[in-house]
Chain A
Amino acid sequence: MNIIVCIKQIIDPEIPAEQFKLDPTTQRQIRGGLSLVISAYDQNALEVALQLREKLGGKITALCLGDSGATGAVKSALGMGVDNGVLVSGPALLASDSFGVARVLAKAIQKIGVPDLVLTGCVSGDTGNKVVGPLIAEELGLPCVAFVTRVEVKDGKAVMRRIVEDGYELVEGPLPVVASILSDDSNVPRYSKLKDIMVAAKKQVPIWKAADLDLDGTKVGAGAARLELRDVSIPRRESRCEMLDGDTPEGQAEKLALRLRELKLI
């Protein structure tokens, strides 16, 4: 049971609002000294992969498209317990839109060897398009199930729990299959052991460039983007919170209820 997990390194999305800044030229978030993390659902995807390996054996490869600093993300995944890591890098590749990113990742997956299961997080914490997993599936000609929290593999088939509006579905698919992972209580990412982090830190992460991947330059990079970002702005939130004070919590509670009544909200 071999698995490739696609991960993305992003600026910590939970920084306070005052630290969130946009570069007016590139229209991207300014890194500054902010910390970098593996995008949250990619960590859930890693956890799903690790649990499957515990049951079924096999190898897990963490695959990341990012700048050279994203070696750190790959090493974090190694620290969590994946067997191998690959970083794909290069300024032109990094300027790709979702289609370009999926193309690059699919080419890298083919170079590694198409596994039984390709996992992605269902959404990244920055651009948040929720499309890269399905696009990788199209690039590879594989079936795809999106918003999956659990994967079981039996008799050469995967059964995936897919979250939908009013509950969930169990979706069965052949291997190989691409699944985009959503979180639930079954896939909370494990903490890495200090020893494993130290071992991972010493590992060499191979870095592949465009030339290593047999890529058609017209299909990736900024020039191939199918949408143009015209404008990004940070909406001003004018909410000034009216605090309901009181000597006791019960007093506050009463004030709140009365205020809501006054506003005709209850």
Chain B
Amino acid sequence: MADVLVLVNGQGDVPSQNTLELLGAARRLADTTRGKVKAVVLEGSQSGLGAALCAYGADQVLRAEHPLLKEYQSDAYVATLDQVASQAGAQVILLADDARGKEVAPRLAHRLNGGVVTEVMGIAGDGSAVLFQRQMYGGRTIATFAARRFPIVATLKPRAVEPASEQAGRSGEEAPVAVVLDASLLRTRVVEKVAEEVRGVKLENAKVVVSGGRGLKGLEPFKQLEELAQLLKGAVGASRAATDAGWIPASRQVGQTGKSVSPDLYIAVGISGATQHLAGMTGSKTIVAINTDPDAPIFKVAHLGVVGDFRAVLPKFIEKCRELTQD
């Protein structure tokens, strides 16, 4: 039996996309192992969220309410989840694989004397074993790990698994869970938050992503990528080389240390295809590469390729796209 504890988030009555994916993975694992899905909500009282979580597969919703949980703070989250997990007694604890989840997961696993596995792309119950799939070697390999002890704290990569679907009439129990937190536990604090301006669609949700890399050789060409992205109702991404050069904010990075994207169309402009970048975009349905170097590794994963200088290719490409999309 594998009970699964899921850390959820959402606004109002609506579970987030990440949460639905966590619930989907949790429900499937619980069903194959005859376990239960327990969802923990940390962010104050959201009256309708609990019912929605049950409709999407949670058997039990645990509310950990505390004034110190209003804003994310890693020490507070780790301490709270440690207490909730100890009380709930789950074998698998699932968090979203985002900046928070990855900061919290290893520390939580350490406190629970369990294991940790990040960037999980699949979870399966196999007899008595619980198996986790993830990439290794910057996306060159797929590895399967089996838990040797419990609990396992796992972070689930966005858009890697099917989200849970709503089952009308499905309900579960909701209960508050006691959390003891003291302000002295919170050693770090966020003093400022700076959100990058995002025009149009968010990179991680975009159906079309136009990314630029080292080959763009500067800040200026990103304006062209922006123009193309707007035209195709997509978002602009970048390789690590471009974010490290300061041409575009780090939050636009696609790759092992940036975002994982799997749009219908990924257009890589002046990106050679370092493994670090490929790890974040090879799930894209169609990949287009525009690069001067015919031997660039990006052409090994691309479906459509143009060997050429983007400065000559892009203006005409944008013009033609505009013409075609206006029809």
Residues of A close to B251: CB separation below 8 A: 163-168
Minimal beta-carbon separation of A73 from chain B (angstroms):
18
Please name 10 pairs of A and B residues whose Cβ atoms are closer than 8 Å in the assembled complex, sorted by A. A125-B276, A135-B106, A138-B111, A144-B107, A146-B103, A168-B196, A237-B300, A241-B302, A243-B299, A249-B309
Minimal beta-carbon separation of A180 from chain B (angstroms):
9
Interface of A is mostly: mixed
What separation, in Å, do the CA atoms of A38 and B282 have in the docked complex?
25
A127/B136 in contact, CB under 8 A? yes
Minimal beta-carbon separation of B83 from chain A (angstroms):
16
* Chain A window 7-19, contacts with chain B (Cβ cutoff 8 Å), 1 for yes, 0 for no: 0000001101100
Given A143-B75, A230-B146, verify A244-B305 contact (CB < 8 Å): yes
Residues of A close to B145: CB separation below 8 A: 227-230
What separation, in Å, do the CA atoms of A244 and B303 have in the docked complex?
11
Minimal beta-carbon separation of A140 from chain B (angstroms):
11
Given A165-B204, A227-B152, verify A241-B143 contact (CB < 8 Å): no
Given A149-B250, A168-B194, verify A249-B188 contact (CB < 8 Å): no
Minimal beta-carbon separation of B289 from chain A (angstroms):
7
Minimal beta-carbon separation of B233 from chain A (angstroms):
10
Among candidates B137, B208, B274, B305, residue contacting A243 with C-beta atoms closer than 8 Å = B305
A230/B313 in contact, CB under 8 A? no
Residues of B close to A194: CB separation below 8 A: none
| 4 tightest Cβ-Cβ pairs between the two chains A and B | A185-B246, A226-B115, A249-B312, A257-B320
Interface core residue of B110, B243, B307, B312 (most chain A CB under 10 Å) = B110
Interface residues of A in 232-266 (CB under 8 A from B): 232-235, 237, 239, 241-244, 248-250, 252-254, 256-261, 263, 265-266
Residues of B close to A90: CB separation below 8 A: none
What separation, in Å, do the CA atoms of A138 and B82 have in the docked complex?
13
* Chain A window 171-186, contacts with chain B (Cβ cutoff 8 Å), 1 for yes, 0 for no: 1111001000011110
B324/A182 in contact, CB under 8 A? no
Residues of A close to B138: CB separation below 8 A: 13, 125-126, 128
**Range class of the A interface residue count:** 35 or more
B301/A237 in contact, CB under 8 A? yes
Nearest CB in chain B to that of A184: its residue: B250
- Count A/B pairs, Cβ under 8 Å: 272
Residues of B close to A235: CB separation below 8 A: 141-142
Given A230-B131, A257-B321, verify A130-B191 contact (CB < 8 Å): no
What separation, in Å, do the CA atoms of A147 and B102 have in the docked complex?
9
A170 at the interface (CB under 8 A from B): yes
Among candidates A166, A171, A252, residue contacting B306 with C-beta atoms closer than 8 Å = A252
* B→A interface (CB under 8 Å): 74-75, 98-100, 102-103, 105-107, 109-111, 114-119, 131-132, 135-138, 140-149, 152, 187-196, 198, 204, 208, 232, 240, 243-246, 249-251, 256-257, 259, 264-265, 274-276, 282, 286-290, 297, 299-309, 312-317, 320-321, 324-325
Residues of A close to B110: CB separation below 8 A: 99, 134-135, 138-139
Among candidates A135, A188, A239, residue contacting B107 with C-beta atoms closer than 8 Å = A135
Among candidates A170, A174, A248, residue contacting B191 with C-beta atoms closer than 8 Å = A170
Contacts A173-B187, A229-B144 aside, 4 further interface pairs with beta carbons under 8 A come to A131-B116, A135-B110, A169-B193, A254-B316
Among candidates B75, B194, B276, B317, residue contacting A167 with C-beta atoms closer than 8 Å = B194
What separation, in Å, do the CA atoms of A234 and B282 have in the docked complex?
14
What separation, in Å, do the CA atoms of A22 and B143 have in the docked complex?
12
Residues of A close to B204: CB separation below 8 A: 165
Given A131-B106, A241-B302, verify A254-B320 contact (CB < 8 Å): yes
Among candidates B105, B250, B299, B320, residue contacting A241 with C-beta atoms closer than 8 Å = B299
B189/A171 in contact, CB under 8 A? yes
B188/A171 in contact, CB under 8 A? yes
Residues of B close to A183: CB separation below 8 A: 240, 243-244, 250, 257
Minimal beta-carbon separation of A199 from chain B (angstroms):
28
Nearest CB in chain A to that of B111: its residue: A138
A174/B187 in contact, CB under 8 A? yes
B300/A239 in contact, CB under 8 A? yes
A35 at the interface (CB under 8 A from B): no
Residues of B close to A237: CB separation below 8 A: 282, 300-301
Residues of B close to A22: CB separation below 8 A: 141
A40 at the interface (CB under 8 A from B): yes
Residues of B close to A243: CB separation below 8 A: 299, 305-307
Residues of A close to B106: CB separation below 8 A: 98, 130-132, 134-135, 138
Residues of B close to A159: CB separation below 8 A: 191
What separation, in Å, do the CA atoms of A224 and B140 have in the docked complex?
26
A242/B309 in contact, CB under 8 A? no
Residues of A close to B192: CB separation below 8 A: 169-170
Interface core residue of B141, B190, B307 (most chain A CB under 10 Å) = B141
B98/A167 in contact, CB under 8 A? no
Minimal beta-carbon separation of A52 from chain B (angstroms):
18
Residues of A close to B265: CB separation below 8 A: 260, 265-266
B244/A184 in contact, CB under 8 A? yes
B324/A29 in contact, CB under 8 A? no
What separation, in Å, do the CA atoms of A149 and B275 have in the docked complex?
21
